[in-house]
Chains A and B, each alone.
Chain A
Amino acid sequence: MPSDEGVLDRLVDWVHTTDVFKCVASWTLVPYWARRTPVKPLPGGPHPSFQHGDNVQCMMNLIMPLKVKSPIGRAEAALAIAKNKDAIYAGLNNVGTVHFARFVIVGDNICMFSVYDGDFTNYIRDFIATIGEVFNEVVKLVEGGKKVIPCEKNVEAFIQWVHEHDLYQVPDTATDFLRDQEDLKGDRAVSPVDDDLTLLPRKLVLQLRANANISLGSGYRAYPGFSVAQVRKHLKLGW
């Protein structure tokens, strides 16, 4: 690197890579800028689209914080899933549009990650129509879950509840994340604009303050563009 750098140059280049700086900045600069330039949480789930490819293999990343934040609470959640395994699998078969689904416990959250075809609302509607009773067993263990139980009788409220717990899916390209923020603010400006791309790191930090958990990009797909029905048909797996 250039040899004309002084001690302060080297110090500043080094200091922002340290954990101490990151910790101090998280407690001071981040709250300061969050107050100066407030950022709203971005909504969860896939981006709306009419295009075929965007409506197959959609991701749901449902993060549901447990009421009892202890090993006992986590064990209760694990048991609720375990004892209903047959019902869950049978229900998912009946939904018919789910590629993959799994439950995961991370920290004090019970999470459901799934890849499905078609509209999110229809997916959830089908889901609770087939395994609503099982889902009640899980939802009753989750913060705020009481208000949507029984979910098969509170369909719209349950769909909204799931949507609120579904992770914001960051677009595949960094600058599309800015477009999401602009959309949320109603900013539809076209060229010429007066942006400052150097603010991208701050915007990302503040967004991650508002949406602490996110899904990074649309994810890898080995066979993008194909639905469950197409895959099963081509592989002659029956229906």
Chain B
Amino acid sequence: MVDTSTAKQLVQAIIDNLEQPVPGRRPVHTIGVGVKGEFVASDVACTYCIAEHFNGKPVRVSVRFSNGLGGVNQHDGWSDVRGMATRFHISGERGSDLIATTLGEFFVRNVDDFFEFSKIAKREKYERRPWWRKVWDLLQLKIPPRNPYPDETKNVDEGALRYANRHRFAQLGIFQVGLIGAPESYARASYHAVHTFWVTAPDGVRRPVRFSWQPVAGVRNTDPKAVPRDRYLFDELRDRLQRWPARFMLMMTIGEEGDALDDPTKPWPGTRIRVVMGTLTLLKVSEDQEADGERISFNPNRLAPGIEVSNDPILEARLGAYEVSREMRGGCPFKWR
């Protein structure tokens, strides 16, 4: 069990690596937008999971899309992990959350790894690599690192690479971060919940699963060679939803014995059974962004009956860390179920 003091240290480790503190805001995924929508489960979802939002009746949904970077400076066009936090408003005051990002796998296995990562992957000066060093890279058949974006003077790339070079479990996640790019729209990216959850079927069978959102509009990134634009994702989403709803399919992959159930750094093979659990329809950008974009607080451990957490130490740590962060920014209290 991750105690409160460790949860505070986790959040502090993130805050300590920010360009500048952002009191009253999320330390990472600071920039985000709240959206309203509806989820309808597929006709087979209820045979796999008894959770209320999979029973086939439409469920009201709140979604917060975000840029991964911490801080109030908005850089939509930078290569960055994006977030999609979803609240299924099930009956009464209860909710069930699903927090996903564009990163397929995480880069640390547990809290100790995270503390080591945060020590090594500090923000460091980031400058254009001199041309002669790029030539040396090319002679070694390496791809030179990208040029800095306008206004980008520091980042964690070098430190993260040093960490990955020492830890093979981290290499996939950090490699993916390096290639992740910037989406043309929040509605044109796939989002993965990275952790394993257990779902219970009506016949009592429990299955280990991983969830992903897949955009019906398809995945599309911006041109990485073009000058990145700092602000376009909110307006793009607002314009898109004024014209037509945006949809995502919720895909659930079922793990097998031997798959990594408690380690978010390890992917599951693409050969696992994959079930369409439902369709999310995003209807409009919320008018009250203070409530639906800022004060709303998600937690990956807030789950409807029928879905349970695995023993993934990172998932467990997020329970406390999200609460600490929520308290620090005065977000809506965590209502357990």
Chain A residues in the interface with B (C-beta under 8 A)? 1-2, 4-6, 8-9, 11-13, 16, 21, 25, 29-30, 33, 49-54, 56-57, 172-176, 178-179, 189-202, 205, 217-221, 224-226
Contacts and interface: CB of A to CB of B under 8 A. Distances in A.
B134 A191 contact: no
Interface string B137-158: 1111111100111100000000
B140 A13 contact: no
B119 interface: no
Contacts of B194: none
Specify the main secondary structure of chain B where it touches its partner.
loop
Interface string B110-150: 00000000000000000010011011011111111001111
A5 B138 CA distance: 18
B43 interface: no
Given A53-B273, A195-B165, A197-B161, A30 B141 contact: yes
Given A51-B257, A198-B137, A224-B272, 12 more contacts: A5-B147, A13-B134, A16-B144, A33-B141, A49-B269, A174-B172, A174-B175, A193-B168, A194-B166, A199-B140, A202-B142, A218-B271
Contacts of A12: 131, 134-135, 138, 144
A16 B138 contact: yes
Contact of B272 (A11, A53, A194, A198): A53
9 contacts: A2-B150, A172-B269, A176-B172, A189-B168, A191-B168, A193-B167, A195-B166, A197-B161, A197-B174
Contacts of B161: 197-198
Interface residues of B, number: 42
B287 interface: no
Contacts of B175: 174-175, 197, 200
Interface in B254-305: 254, 256-259, 267, 269-274
Contacts of B174: 197
Nearest to A57: B271
A192 B128 contact: no
B171 A175 contact: yes
A190 B166 CA distance: 9
Nearest to B137: A198
A196 B168 contact: no
- Across the A-B interface, the 6 shortest Cβ-Cβ residue pairs: A225-B273, A202-B141, A8-B131, A53-B271, A192-B166, A175-B171
Interface of B: 105, 128, 131-132, 134-135, 137-144, 147-150, 161, 164-169, 171-172, 174-175, 227, 254, 256-259, 267, 269-274
Contacts of B165: 193-197
Contacts of B150: 1-2
Nearest to B268: A53
Contacts of B171: 175, 178, 195, 197
Given A13-B134, A224-B271, A173 B172 contact: yes
Contact of A51 (B131, B132, B172, B259): B259
Most chain A Cβ neighbours within 10 Å, of B227, B257, B273, B274: B273
A56 B273 CA distance: 11
Contacts of A13: 134, 147
Given A4-B128, A195-B165, A201 B142 contact: yes
Contact of A224 (B137, B148, B257, B274): B274
B141 A190 contact: no
A56 to B, nearest CB: 7
B169 to A, nearest CB: 7
B141 A201 contact: yes
A218 B147 contact: no
Most chain B Cβ neighbours within 10 Å, of A13, A21, A50: A13
Given A8-B131, A201-B142, A54 B168 contact: no
A205 B141 contact: yes
Contacts of B258: 50-51
B269 A218 contact: yes
Contacts of B273: 53, 224-226
B199 to A, nearest CB: 16
